[in-house]
Chains A and B, each alone.
Chain A
Amino acid sequence: MSTAAAEVKIGQDTHHDEHHDHEQSFISKYIFTTDHKMIGKQFLITGILWGLIGVGMSVIFRLQLGFPEMQLEWLRPLLGGWITEAGKLDAEFYLALVTMHGTIMVFFVLTAGLSGTFSNYLIPLQIGARDMASGFMNMLSYWFFFLSSVVMMSSIFIETGPAAGGWVVYPPLSALPQAIQGSQLGMTLWLVAMVFFIVSMLLGGINYITTVINLRTQGMSFTRLPLTIWAFFLTAVIGLLSFPVLFAAALLLVFDRSFGTSFYLSEIYIGGEALPNMGGSPILYQHLFWFLGHPEVYIVLLPALGITSEIIATNSRKPIFGYRAMIGSMLGITVLSFVVWAHHMFVSGLNPFLGSVFMFLTLIIAIPSAVKVFNYLTTLWKGNIIFTPATLFSIGLVSFFISGGLTGIFLGNSVIDIQLHDTYFVVAHFHLVMGSLSIFGLLAGVYHWFPKMFGRMMDEKLGYIHFWFTFIGVYMIFFPMHYIGIAGFPRRYYSWTNFDAFSSYTDLNMFVSIAAIVTVTAQFIFLFNFFYSMFRGRKAPQNPWRSNTLEWTAPIEPGHGNWPGEIPTVYRWPYDYSKPGAEEDFIPQHIPLSETPESNLPHEQELAKKEVVSKKDNAGAEA
């Protein structure tokens, strides 16, 4: 027994010597890297670039919606034939823009860019591991994502244009090349890209789960995990269970498109001919799609909520209120996320009885969400709040969670959904609760962990300006859309002037478009801050936010393996902020209870007696 342990020890030590001895080559350090920190940064940078493209597309179609009379001739150098001879945006390209905006933002920015970045970066650092369970799989995960990005990007440049059936790509529209140009080569590339994307997410997800279960440092029990890790863990579980179903849906669609099967096609007469397909059901696709599609909402939501929990606790200098209730509500959301999918299909021709079942299940999911909001509020209550840019974005996030969550209660009710389904009310709802919330989670995370990632601080003032422009901007964009939606304006409309019922609100649409342009412009403040600070920012101290979690015990710029010496042991939960009796207003996780007799709670005094602290650890902690 003892020899085995010794061998492991020796193995670890030699492993370390290796890395101290020789410099890695550029390729193995920055490109085909297996270091989770570098992979996290790769996901972040790629996500930011995709974010620029996705948001840029939304500006173009907002020009069409806000200023339908505008001459867009000046976009011809960029869009070429997609600008019609009259100098207008092509109506079909409008749909392609909307589709690609949705696909890019949901999958490439908010899934890969958010969960990919922070799960990779934070899981090993916060649980006290040297790296992911499989560094190689982790590398594959990024490169499959990259491959998927390349394929998706190339579809934008082909002559028939990218997929244009909405980001949900419902068949038969997406299955029939004669129905819309985007369903030709563009749709094939979309499907190929998504298959690679799913592979990437599965490789990543398996890794996150394995790492969290197996590689936690000594003392890091599940009840001592930071909420970020809980969130990433549950996100990975959701992804692992739901992405394969999207894979199945995509595969059947490939069969229908290319091999003449009829999974989704039946009784179709198009382009002057009756197709031979019989017996398929477009509704089947919708079930399969939303079986991923709805959990996907929580895949982008949970990491943002986890990041917020951490940042709000740290910067209000208070323990997160209701740690166990927070975990419980995340577990509840995880389970429920799998049984609410058909609320996207209330008016699809679904059996009305199923409609009522899914209304019931959908409204239940509001309960754990409400619990989370109340816990955030109570965490802020009687805190001593320091407004770092990350705090501001976290508070903004909670505001979006409330606003967007409550409109979900309208849409989850099958009765109200009859009128509001596929109107701008839905657009407003999910852009607040899923889009903006998750983007705010991403931005908060970047501001908070930038010092750890790059060893330098971002500029705070620019962060404040960025926040206020973005926060007010987001509300100015999406709040008015509720009114437009209640008035019945359908989404994915190139223009509303054909209808008397939708001919009002040209002023409001113009306002929304202006707000969108201003808000997008403000993001360049962030970009400047991000890239400038990476090289010229103020050098970061080791623990700039005086935070409790383990990543701040690692060197300012951790090398491969994260901690040069032994991995710190964990003795307490991560939220000992402002503990009565303690000298400082935070006690990091690696400080043994036996060293803080002045602040221990009664039950902790008992634990402290049983605590075995190695001398070495002690020395490490003090150093």
Chain B
Amino acid sequence: MFNLAIGLGVVLLLAILFLIFRISSLIGVAKGNSKKVATGSNRFNGAFFMVFLIGAGILFFWYSFKEYNNYQLPVASAHGSEYEFMFWLTMGVTGVVFILTQILLFYFAWKYQYKSDSKALFYPENNKLEVAWTFIPAVVLAVLVFTGWRVWSDITSPAPENTNNIEIMGYQFAWDVRYPGLDGELGNYDYMKIDAVNSFGIDFTDKAAYDDFTYREMVIPKGEPVTFNIRAKDVLHSVFAPHFRLKMDAVPGMPTSFTFTATKTTEEMREELNDPEFNYEIACTEVCGKGHFSMKKNLVVLEPEAYREWYKEQESFLKRNPDYLSEVPSELKEMALLKTGIDNNELAK
């Protein structure tokens, strides 16, 4: 019954609209609009372009200033401020062009609307103007390109020797994190060795792998270079840490990396934002299937000392999963036990 009433209402509304349309077009015929070059609507449309320009302009400025703190995520990495410089430089340049050209467009539309007594200016070309507005954008863009190059080569320069290598691997639908352990060297992996427990496919014939450990969160030190060694297990993923201005795809079969330096610990950021619940987050930005939107990993930034302490406390993967000792070649077994700190006696039990 209710649906029927709504249906009837809609039909009635459409009928009324159609009637109005017919009446107004008949009035148009009576006025002889079709014989005129431009009707009264011309003035309305011209004026409305100005109304739109002013209205939308006010909205744009008001909202951009009001919302600054909401859309501008605080920066937590060293290259992040370089990124911000590049972003706001581009915003400045394009902003000026945006405002000027939009004003000219709508102003011209209004100002030069049809008048029966005026005639358009026959002005087919002016080479000087064309050269000018080819050359000036070229120079401005050159500035943007060269600044961009400088920052880009800075961000993508090879990782320094003393960097903290951490592996992050994407899979449907989560991230896993592996640390190189006390030797500072990530062990080899082989995707064929992946199973339910050894999700990284750590290759235990490699000595460097024995002290590798995994952790449920991504923990990194502040003020030291950190390199994400990025892998994907199944399909494409993309590591995105918005506060660090960091993004890099995770590609199956092709390891990628991103080196950066965090500048604020989680605690410092909590204070700055006055939000005790705050956490840095890693998201996935390459569509990877049904759970794409849920691939979250928390990222914790610690002071270097606290980080070292935490790092030392971690037990190696091998120690926590001693079954994998069987994969260690017999000549290296001694070394594996030593490196992982597994107590031989304990093992015997």
Contacts and interface: CB of A to CB of B under 8 A. Distances in A.
**Residue of A349, A418, A468 with most partner-chain B CB within 10 A:** A418
A342 B288 CA distance: 21
A467 B51 CA distance: 15
B274 interface: no
A494 B293 contact: yes
Interface in A310-325: 316-325
14 contacts: A268-B233, A270-B235, A318-B123, A322-B124, A322-B125, A325-B125, A359-B145, A363-B144, A380-B109, A402-B105, A406-B94, A418-B245, A423-B285, A504-B70
Contact of B112 (A166, A382, A459): A382
B105 A492 contact: no
B176 to A, nearest CB: 12
B296 A499 contact: yes
Contacts of B333: none
A255 B52 CA distance: 53
B120 A501 contact: no
Interface stretch (B31-39, B178-186, B213-221, B339-347): B31-39
B188 interface: no
A538 to B, nearest CB: 6
A172 B235 contact: yes
Contacts of B251: 281-283, 348-349
A387 B45 contact: yes
Given A374-B133, A384-B120, A498-B293, A359 B152 contact: yes
Interface residues of A, number: 119
B87 interface: yes
Contacts of B138: 367
B38 A418 contact: no
A458 to B, nearest CB: 11
A170 B94 CA distance: 32
Contacts of B307: none
A499 B283 contact: yes
Interface in A479-517: 479, 483-484, 486-488, 490-496, 498-502, 504-505
Interface string B185-207: 00000011010100001000000
Contact of A415 (B102, B121, B126, B151): B151
A253 B45 CA distance: 51
Interface in A255-312: 265-270, 272, 274, 278-283
A387 B233 contact: no
Contacts of A166: 287
B79 to A, nearest CB: 9
A268 B171 CA distance: 10
A479 B60 contact: yes
B294 A399 contact: no
Contacts of B284: 490
Contact of A280 (B137, B253, B283, B293): B253
B254 A281 contact: yes
Contact of B52 (A325, A472, A490): A472
A282 to B, nearest CB: 6
A585 B120 contact: yes
Interface stretch (A33-41, A150-158, A575-583): A575-583
Contacts of B349: none
B242 A270 contact: no
A414 B73 CA distance: 19
Interface string B96-127: 01100110111011001111001111111110
Given A172-B236, A282-B251, A419-B242, A460 B144 contact: no
Give the interface size bracket for B toward A: 35 or more
Given A415-B83, A418-B247, A499-B283, A409 B144 contact: yes
**Residue of A316, A323, A579 with most partner-chain B CB within 10 A:** A316
B290 interface: yes
**Residue of B125, B235, B278 with most partner-chain A CB within 10 A:** B235
Nearest to B239: A347
Contacts of B122: 318-319, 577-580
A395 B234 contact: no
B280 to A, nearest CB: 8
Nearest to A90: B290
Given A419-B87, A498-B293, 13 more contacts: A91-B291, A172-B236, A265-B252, A282-B236, A359-B152, A363-B148, A366-B137, A387-B114, A399-B102, A402-B97, A403-B98, A407-B94, A490-B285
Interface in B228-262: 233-236, 238, 240, 242-243, 245-249, 251-254, 256
Interface string B156-174: 1000000000000001100
A241 interface: no
Given A274-B192, A461-B25, A490-B284, A355 B152 contact: yes
A55 interface: no
Contacts of B310: none
Given A173-B288, A318-B121, A380 B130 contact: no
Contact of A459 (B25, B98, B196, B201): B25
